[in-house]
Structure 1
Amino acid sequence: MPRQVPYDDARFVAARRLASAQGGVVSRPQLYSLGITRWEIRGQVRGHRWQLIGDQSVQLGNGDLSSFGEQWAAVLQGGPRACLDGGSALIAAGLERYTMDRVRVSVPRGARVRRNRRFNIRQTRRWAEHDIVRAGVPRTRPATAAIRAALWARTDREATYVLLLAVQQRLTDATSVGSELLRIRRDRRRLLLHSIVNELLDGAQTLGEIDIAVLLRQRGLPPPTRQALRRDRRGRYFLDLYWPAYQLVVEIDGIHHAWIENLVGDALRQNALALDGDTVLRIPLLGLRLQPDDFLDQIEDGLRAGGWAAAA
């Protein structure tokens, strides 16, 4: 039987205090610095009071590891200069509706990488100390993380989505993201990201708005006002796309517009616009993907009915 350690042993009290700030996880070097030996660690693990996370971290408990603990374990596995990066850094900063299979950690070029299948630990030439937030779990700043998440995304669609989420959820802003993008000199997705950031700087707030802005330009249609503020007796609301000179409103309907709690509000807003004399066109996001030309035809018809004429 492994030797029991007194609960009030000062070394173990300090270890528990440190673990409470790190999701229940501490590194082996941290434990050694407190005077806890590798044999005592082994005894706690064999006694099923602690458990190993990778080969560098120890969870001071035997329950399920929290996502916060998983983040800390990944960084501790990466070494002293490791930090959460890309999508993992955004999640740590509070990003919602975005998941990753494994925690992504970056270390600088030349650093020793302790490989572990549980975590995605990579060297990167873009690592810089001034990009890292050290309060809490070490992670790259949101604007930097957003650009890297987009560069490392599996598809262009995912790259667009994660950039949009970061700005939409106010973890960062379009100007900061644009400044970070200027640091990227070479990447196959660089031009795509420039296009997305330009749209975000112009005020687009949803994937549908970004998509339709490109299609409108290709059609030679006039640019709309985005996120125009309107008021009615129920309060204020924003219009996705609005051409005030032609009294045309276009609303891009994502899946959330089909939720029961949104149906009544959407109907009341549309009715208020109609009573004010505006034409309202609703475009489901799926329809924009599958039949873009049909909906663009309707927008063009609405603009012409409002008095717009294409330049000769």
Structure 2
Amino acid sequence: MDQPTTFPEAGESRSPRALRDEARRVERERRQLLAEELAAPYDGVVTLAILLAAGLTRGQIEAQVARGAWHRLGRHTVAVRGQALAGRARWWHALWESGRHAALDGATALLAAGLKGWSERDIDVTVPNNARVRPIPGVRHHRLREQAPTVGALRRTRPEVAAIRAAQWAVSDAEAATVLAMAVQQRLVSPGALLERWRQVGYSGRRAFLDVVVEDICNGAESLGELDFARMCRARGLAEPSRQVLRTGPKGRAYLDVFWDDEGVHVEIHGAHHYAGLTPVEDALRANDLAISGGDEIHLQVPVLGLRLPPRRSALLDQVERALVEGRRRAAQRSSTQ
């Protein structure tokens, strides 16, 4: 058990050593409270420059570090609440250690702007092409000849720029399509701003893919023309739909309906901008399996982004083929009973 605190009796003097110890303890508490107040806007981290500007000396800072109360995380960053960083503190640390012209970019900038449902592997930071930057664990530095304008105290590129760069830096086409769709669906960037920004991009390693995906996301199902879907059907050896209708509703053109009248198969193509990433593609695959197995007419759902990604396109067209086979079987059965 802790020993109870004892206080000197009235009139009893404290030793010089005890007084010095008490003064040091009070001073350490003052420094800690000051540092925590300064670090509060940054989720527990602060720069060396901010501590010095607040009146602390380098010796006092190093004393706090030496006793394990604070931790130096690079040349500029000091953690005052433990060494493990969480939340926005990781982003502040990445910025401060990357130089005064650094900015959060790509998926990281979208997360800082409020993107939900996305897991960050590394922090994406852009720096000028001639910047001297030390490697930072967990941070990907992207060197650019021209950096885009930034917004916010926590410097980040604008969402339309960040979304396009996130798609270009993604590890796969599926991830690229997902981050773009999520950014638009969550209204971090408008379809018009995204499309305009993409048209300003020069070189892109994903040019052909992103040309169609950005169009899909910004213009909905209308971007997938009747001839495109018919071409996909022909490539699979499927009969071309007997009727293809672009529906017009209260909100204008919304989706493309595809029919095979003889087989009783109906495919509804959903625009990419209505959904958060690729989740609806997986939902549609499950719903289509159920649709093929029961009912008179077969109604399939095809999210347009699924048709842009080869593995999912193959799975969706497999389902269309199965539906046509099943539709012909049901039609023959109906004929035989009449």
Same fold (TM over 0.5): yes
Q: Select 1:98's aligned residue among 118, 131, 134.
A: 118
Deviation at 1:214, TM superposition (A): 5.2
Determine the structure 2 residue equivalent to 1:307.
none
SS, match of residue 250 in structure 1: strand
Deviations 1:19-56 (A, max 9, x none): 11111111222223333233222211222221222332
Instruction: Decide whether the 8 Å contact of 1:248 with 1:303 is kept in 2.
Output: no
Mapped pair 1:133 → 2:151: yes
CA distance in 1, matches of 2:311, 2:137: 40
CA distance in 2, matches of 1:29, 1:223: 66
Determine the structure 2 residue equivalent to 1:180.
197
CA distance in 2, matches of 1:63, 1:48: 9
Alpha carbons of structure 1 residues 199 and 49: separation in structure 2 relative to 1, 3 Å: same
For structure 2, the residue ranges without an aligned partner over 5 or more in a row are 1-20, 234-239, 271-279, 329-338
Alpha carbons of structure 1 residues 204 and 33: separation in structure 2 relative to 1, 3 Å: farther
Alpha carbons of structure 1 residues 201 and 56: separation in structure 2 relative to 1, 3 Å: same
Alpha carbons of structure 1 residues 154 and 214: separation in structure 2 relative to 1, 3 Å: farther
CA distance in 2, matches of 1:258, 1:179: 32
Identity of matched residues, %: 29
Determine the structure 1 residue equivalent to 2:237.
none
Pairing 1:201-240 to 2, within 5 Å after superposition: 201-204=218-221, 215-216=229-230, 218-219=232-233, 225=246
Deviations 1:62-81 (A, max 9, x none): 16421211111111111111
Instruction: Decide whether the 8 Å contact of 2:115 with 2:183 is kept in 1.
Output: yes
SS, match of residue 96 in structure 1: coil
CA distance in 1, matches of 2:55, 2:269: 63
SS, match of residue 200 in structure 2: coil
Pairing 1:2-151 to 2, within 5 Å after superposition: 4=25, 5-8=27-30, 15-62=35-82, 64-128=84-148, 130=149, 132-135=150-153, 137-151=154-168
Instruction: Decide whether the 8 Å contact of 2:44 with 2:89 is kept in 1.
Output: yes
CA distance in 2, matches of 1:257, 1:156: 19
Deviations 1:261-292 (A, max 9, x none): xx9xxx9xx9xxx9xx9862246979954444
- Which amino acid in structure 1 is aligned with residue 29 of structure 2? Y
Q: Select 1:190's aligned residue among 190, 193, 207.
A: 207
Q: CA RMSD in A?
A: 4.2
- Which amino acid in structure 2 is aligned with residue 295 of structure 1? Q
Alpha carbons of structure 1 residues 287 and 188: separation in structure 2 relative to 1, 3 Å: closer
CA distance in 1, matches of 2:181, 2:172: 14
For structure 1, the residue ranges without an aligned partner over 5 or more in a row are 231-238, 305-312
Larger Rg: 2
Q: Select 1:295's aligned residue among 306, 314, 319.
A: 319
Between the two proteins, the alignment pairs up a number of residues equal to 273
Alpha carbons of structure 1 residues 13 and 154: separation in structure 2 relative to 1, 3 Å: same
Instruction: Decide whether the 8 Å contact of 1:204 with 1:226 is kept in 2.
Output: no
Q: Select 1:165's aligned residue among 182, 194, 197.
A: 182
SS, match of residue 202 in structure 1: helix
Alpha carbons of structure 1 residues 113 and 101: separation in structure 2 relative to 1, 3 Å: same
Deviation at 1:251, TM superposition (A): 6.9
Deviation at 1:106, TM superposition (A): 1.0
Instruction: Decide whether the 8 Å contact of 2:267 with 2:302 is kept in 1.
Output: no
- Which amino acid in structure 2 is aligned with residue 122 of structure 1? H
Deviation at 1:114, TM superposition (A): 2.7
Deviations 1:134-191 (A, max 9, x none): 24x2111111100001111122222112111111222112211111112211122123
Deviations 1:178-220 (A, max 9, x none): 1111221112212321211111122159xxx98x995455447
TM-score relative to the length of structure 1: 0.70
- Which amino acid in structure 2 is aligned with residue 281 of structure 1? L
SS, match of residue 154 in structure 1: coil
SS, match of residue 197 in structure 2: helix
